Amino acid sequence: MAISFAEENYLKIIYRLSESTSDDISTNAIAELTQNKAASVTDMLRKMSDKGWVNYQKYQGVRLSETGEKIALDIVRKHRLWEVFLVNKMGFNWDEVHEIAEQLEHIESEVLVDKLDAFLDYPRTDPHGDPIPNKKGELPQLGYIPLANMPIGKAGKLVGVAQDSAVFLQLLTKLNLKLGANLEITEINAFDLSVSLRIDGNPPVLISHEVAKNVLIKR
């Protein structure tokens, strides 16, 4: 079954929205991320439902079918592998690669993806710490995720850090962020992705996205 550029984008975006909720995904949420109007989204959801990639019921939102999730995971896999390539091999900064990877993720060649994976030495996460699905669509069990990726309102325990430069660790100490601390994100500011964080039940403090990315937590 042939799949178009546009369809791949929809699947990827529905997948991303599904990651941080177990509810059905709303038409509007998809419209916002695809940069389309809600009416166009409805249109596309109906078509993708016919193809069996999503389970969709009028006014009730949508979720990925098993096939749909498989396809989405494959796109995510490609996106994240290309990001590793761009940062590790081409010398881009982690914040410059997203748009290019958005394009590269649509390249169709299973063999190429496998060879790329090997060339990069089978990375388990992308430059932002997000896990890279394997060929079968399984996510590696990391046992932890970057604090930056934790959904708002869920609590987790600080189990490690993703880098160990002195300045970073000193900052953690100053913020009272130590191993074992109980963490809950109360807010994420869209402007700079900075995070309001409740530590061990205390009133929330503000930390930067950069810090949140390098703090590893277990749910």
33 interface partner picked from DNA, a second copy, none, CB below 5 to 8 A per type? none
Residue 89 as a binder of a second copy (CB under 8 A): the answer is yes
Integer Cα distance of 164 and 172 in angstroms: 11
Residue closer to a second copy by CB (options 115, 219) is 115
The smaller minimum CB distance to DNA, of residues 49 and 134, is found at 49
Burial 72-104 (b: 16+ CB within 10 A, else e): bbbbbbbbbbbbbbbbeeeebeeeebeeebeeb
Give the C-alpha separation, 198 to 96, whole Å.
Answer: 30
Beta carbon of residue 3, minimum distance to DNA (angstroms, whole number): 8
Place of tokens 């160990």: 164
Spell out a b/e string for 34-46, using b for 16 or more CB atoms within 10 Å of the CB, else e.
bebeeeebbebbe
CB of 103 to DNA, least distance (A): 15
Pick between residue 28 and residue 165 the one whose CB is nearest to DNA: 28
The one among 51, 57, 90, 122 contacting a second copy by CB under 8 A: 90
- Out of a second copy, DNA, none, what residue 4 binds, judged by CB under 5 to 8 A for its kind, is DNA
Residue 37 near which of DNA, a second copy, none (CB within 5-8 Å, type-dependent): DNA
Applying CB under 7 A, which residues contact DNA?
4-7, 26-29, 34-47, 56, 58-61
Nearer to DNA, 6 or 171 (CB): 6
Rounded to an integer, what distance in angstroms lies between the CA atom of residue 130 and that of residue 17?
A: 15
* Cα–Cα nearest to 217, from 164, 148, 165, 141: 148
| Burial group, residue 158, by CB count within 10 angstroms (0-12, 13-18, 19+) | buried
83's tokens: 């990001």
- Kindly tell me which residue out of 11, 44, 48, 86 binds a second copy, with binding defined by CB under 8 A: 86
Contacting residues toward a second copy, per CB under 8 A: 86, 89-92, 96, 99-100, 103-104, 106-109, 111-112, 115-116, 119
